Structures are given as C-alpha cells and as structure tokens.
Amino acid sequence: MKRTFALILALALMLALAACTPAETTPTAEPTLEPTPAPTAEPTPEPTPEATPEAAVLTDMLGREVALPAEVKTIVSLAASNTEILYAIGAGEMLVGRDAYSNYPEATADIAVVGDFNGPNIEAIVAADPDVVLASYLQDDVLNQLTELGIAVFCTEASDYEGIYTSIELIGAICGKAEEAAALCAGMRESIGKVQAAAATEAQPTVYYVMSFGEYGEWSGGPGSFINAAIELAGGIPITKDMGEVWVNPSIEQIVALDPDIILLSSLYTIEDLSAANGYADMRAVKEGHVYLVNPDWVERPAPRIAEAVAEFGEIFAEFLSLNQAA
C-alpha cells in the first residue's frame, strides 16, 4: 500500500514539472530587408544649340550673288531712288546713312549724310555700321571696296522701266518687306495702266525730255530708259528712241532736225534759259509755247514716283492735243 502511494506521488510530481516547463517555440524568421538602391543621378541634358539660319543669297541688279545677313536692321542708301523705295515700303526707320541727293521724303533730313552719289565716303559708311548697303549700278568702285571690307552691298538701282519693279521687290526682300513691296508695285501698275489706257485712243505727239542743255551738255533718256518708257506710257513718242544708248547726248543739230512737238524741261532750269540757248529758239515747241516744266525727281529717279511722272505727262500730252484740235 505504501509502495503504491509512493508511485502515484512520483507520477504526480513528474506531470507537475512537465506542465511548468515552457513549450519549445519555433523561432520566427526575421524579415530580410532588401537594400534600397541609391538613386542614380539623371544626366543633365546638354543644351542644344539653336540652329543658325542660313544666309539667303540674293541676286542684285548687276547679276551679283550677295549673301544677305540673317538679320537686317540697319541700311545705308547711296542713291536717292533706293531711299525713296525704302520709305515707300515702310522701311525708312532702318536707314542710318544716305547720299546727299536723297531728299525725299522730308524725314531723310534727319539721316546722316555719307557723301554724295558720285563720291560716297567709305569711312562714314563703315562708321554707320550698316547691315546692308544699297548702291547704284554706277558705283562699281564703292561696291568693290565695301565688299572687300565684309559689308553686304547690293546694287538695287534700275536703268529701265521694268527694272524699277525689280528694284522695289529686291529691296523688299532685303528688308523683310516683301508684301509691302508687292503692294506698292501693284498700285503703281494700276495707276500707270489708267494713264496708258486713256492715251491709247489719242494721237501721239513727239517729245523731247531735257535733263540738261547748253554748257552742261544736251542730255536725255534714250531707248530702254525709264524716262523714254514714261513718255511712251503716257502716249508720247520720244525723239531719242533710236539713238542707241540708255542715256544719250545728242547734238543740238540732231534735236533741231527732229523738231519735237513737245519739250519737257527739268524744273531745275527755266523756259527763258532754254529759249535763249543755242538752237532752241528755232524749234516749234519753243515758238508755240509747248515747253513744260516737270519735276526732275519724278522723272529722273527709278523710283515709285515715276507713276507721278507718267500721270503728269499724260495731262500735258492731252492738253497739247486738245489745243491742236481747237486750232
């Protein structure tokens, strides 16, 4: 009995000890942290250089190919016709130098003079620092000198009537005023076309335009000149039409022999002075009072105001024909 009790007690103690022993736990795996990669610096893009616009190459009135600067802001004009065109297309503010004969419009009075038509001052032109120089076909030496100095020089002066429109369009292209140039040309053609149409049904008087006479020589426009074209467009026949040169210097004997119906005289002179000059007093136009003063700036400049000259010629010729019909 005692032995049995001892066994039971020993068993109870073993169970009690088992209950007090902590259960063996399965270790929980620690989370493995993935290393965060260091941020990679994005490469700074290299600035893309702006494309430099290619310089346009324009052909001037002498057939020379000239590179036009990418940007044209300042211009020197060496001929009055070029100056008039600049203002007529709204580019007068670009003018920083002019020849002494550029006197129209009035705004030209505020522009620095860089010599005259026959003697442009190279140093003054360079000092004006123009992007472009507009010259005449009669200024070869200046064209060459300025070109050698790296200045863009364009011959933009015309010698014939259609060349006036080409000149306007070329200057428009140089200045970035192509639309304005086209509109100007269209307006001129329309105005002149009306005069031409009105004259088409009338008789054609013979006409001599006097640029100079006497001690200055007998000078006028010849075949192909814009002066002769203006006379023809207004309904007249220039007596110099067969003399062979754009600018003619006929003898007084030739003029007297051709004896024109009408003499158009530059208003730089007077009718009295012409009448007193050798040979002119014997001509019908002088005797009959058909010598008319006209604005030489309209007639002798290949510029937009040639349209004014044509209109004035048309009025003079119509008056002459009316007087002849009434006689």
DSSP string, 23-89: PPPPPPPPPPPPPPPPPPPPPPPPPPPPPPPPPPEEE-TTS-EEEPPS----EEE-SHHHHHHHHHT
What is 217-269 written as a DSSP string?
--BEE-TT-HHHHHHHHTT-EETTTTSSSSEE---HHHHHHH--SEEEEETTS
Judgement on whether residues 231 and 320 belong to the same structural domain of the protein: yes
pLDDT of residue 198: 95
When comparing pLDDT for 27 and 141, which is higher? 141
Judgement on whether residues 263 and 228 belong to the same structural domain of the protein: yes
- pLDDT over 90 at 173, yes or no: yes
Judgement on whether residues 211 and 289 belong to the same structural domain of the protein: yes
Q: Is 254 within 8 Å of 229 (Cβ atoms)?
A: no
Specify which of 5-14, 110-119, 124-133 reaches the highest per-range mean pLDDT: 124-133
Judgement on whether residues 66 and 157 belong to the same structural domain of the protein: yes
Judgement on whether residues 208 and 93 belong to the same structural domain of the protein: no
Residue 115 falls inside a structural domain: yes
Position 118 confidence tier, pLDDT thresholds 50, 70, 90: confident
Residue 273 falls inside a structural domain: yes
State how many domains the chain has: 2
CATH code of 155's domain: 3.40.50.1980
Residue 15 falls inside a structural domain: no
Distances (CA, A) of 232 to 4, 93, 109, 294: 159, 35, 34, 16
Residue 42 falls inside a structural domain: no
Judgement on whether residues 143 and 77 belong to the same structural domain of the protein: yes
**Domain, as residue range, for 144:** 57-176
- pLDDT over 70 at 227, yes or no: yes
The mean predicted confidence, pLDDT, of the chain is: 87
Residue at 159: amino acid letter: S
* H or E segment and range at residue 210: strand 206-210
Judgement on whether residues 126 and 214 belong to the same structural domain of the protein: no
Judgement on whether residues 321 and 229 belong to the same structural domain of the protein: yes
pLDDT (tens digit per residue) in 59-101: 999 999 999 999 999 999 999 999 999 999 999 999 999 999 9
- pLDDT over 60 at 136, yes or no: yes
Antiparallel, parallel or unpaired: β 247-248 and 220-221: antiparallel
Q: How many CA atoms lie within 13 A of 249 on its CB side?
A: 4
Judgement on whether residues 205 and 172 belong to the same structural domain of the protein: no
pLDDT of residue 23: 40
When comparing pLDDT for 242 and 30, which is higher? 242
Position 202 confidence tier, pLDDT thresholds 50, 70, 90: confident
- pLDDT over 60 at 39, yes or no: no
Which of 272, 139, 274 is CA-nearest to residue 216?
A: 274
Residue 195 falls inside a structural domain: no
The whole-model pTM stands at 0.82
Judgement on whether residues 111 and 71 belong to the same structural domain of the protein: yes
Judgement on whether residues 116 and 163 belong to the same structural domain of the protein: yes
Residue 114 falls inside a structural domain: yes
- pLDDT over 60 at 12, yes or no: no
pLDDT of residue 324: 85
Residue 267 falls inside a structural domain: yes
CB atoms inside a 10 Å sphere around CB 127: 13
| Least-confidence region, from 26-35, 176-185, 232-241 | 26-35
Q: What is the mean pLDDT of the segment spanning 216-227?
A: 97
When comparing pLDDT for 25 and 73, which is higher? 73
pLDDT of residue 288: 96
Q: What is the mean pLDDT of the segment spanning 220-244?
A: 97
Residue 9 falls inside a structural domain: no
- pLDDT over 60 at 316, yes or no: yes
Position 327 confidence tier, pLDDT thresholds 50, 70, 90: low
| Maximum C-alpha span of the chain | 186
| Least-confidence region, from 36-45, 48-57, 233-242, 271-280 | 36-45
Judgement on whether residues 170 and 234 belong to the same structural domain of the protein: no
